[in-house]
């Protein structure tokens, strides 16, 4: 909506005729303060909307970065090696003490139950 020069002059003349020249400064002051308050309210609403709209996106981005970092840090070979060495070291110590390595196939073991199905 654009106002030309002639339209503004007509509006100014209508205000002077309706309210009189003595009330014109107070009307202009009130109109200016109303416009300032309206702009401030619009800016507050705009900043709140942007803040709320940006917040979930930034949280999702942070979660994605955490998952990416966890994937980079995860080394299955190193983890299995640690578990294997800690689990096998007492067995190896006993085997070395006895001098034999027991190897029992699952088909020969009486206690072997196989994979459990539910």
Note down the domain range covering 36. Answer: 21-98
User: What is the number of domains present in the chain?
Assistant: 1
In a domain, 48, yes or no: yes
Residue 90 lies in a domain: yes
> Taking CA 30 as the corner, what is the angle to CA 26 and CA 33, rounded to the nearest 5 degrees?
140
Read off the pTM: 0.38
**Is 7 contained in some domain?**
no
Domain annotation covers residue 39: yes
Q: What is the pLDDT of residue 44?
A: 93
Chain-centroid distance, C-alpha 79: 30
DSSP 3-state of 92: helix
The reported pLDDT for the residue numbered 35 is: 94
**Average pLDDT, consecutive stretches of 10 residues, N- to C-terminus, the chain (118 residues):** 86 89 89 94 90 73 88 72 53 55 66 64
* pLDDT at site 58: 73
CA proximity to 27, closest of 48, 49, 11: 11
End-to-end Cα, the chain, rounded Å:
71
């Amino acid at each position: 909506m654009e106002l030309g020069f002639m339209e503004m002059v007509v509006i100014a003349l209508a205000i002077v005729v309706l309210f009189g020249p003595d009330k014109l400064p107070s009307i202009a002051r009130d109109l200016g303060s109303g416009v300032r308050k309206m702009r401030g309210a619009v800016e507050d609403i705009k900043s709140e909307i942007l803040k709320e709209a940006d917040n979930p996106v930034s949280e999702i981005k942070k979660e994605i970065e955490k998952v990416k970092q966890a994937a980079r840090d995860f080394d299955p070979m190193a983890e299995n090696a640690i578990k294997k060495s800690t689990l096998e070291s007492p067995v190896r110590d006993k085997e070395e003490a006895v001098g034999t390595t027991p190897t029992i196939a699952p088909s020969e073991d009486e206690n072997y139950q196989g994979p459990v199905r539910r």
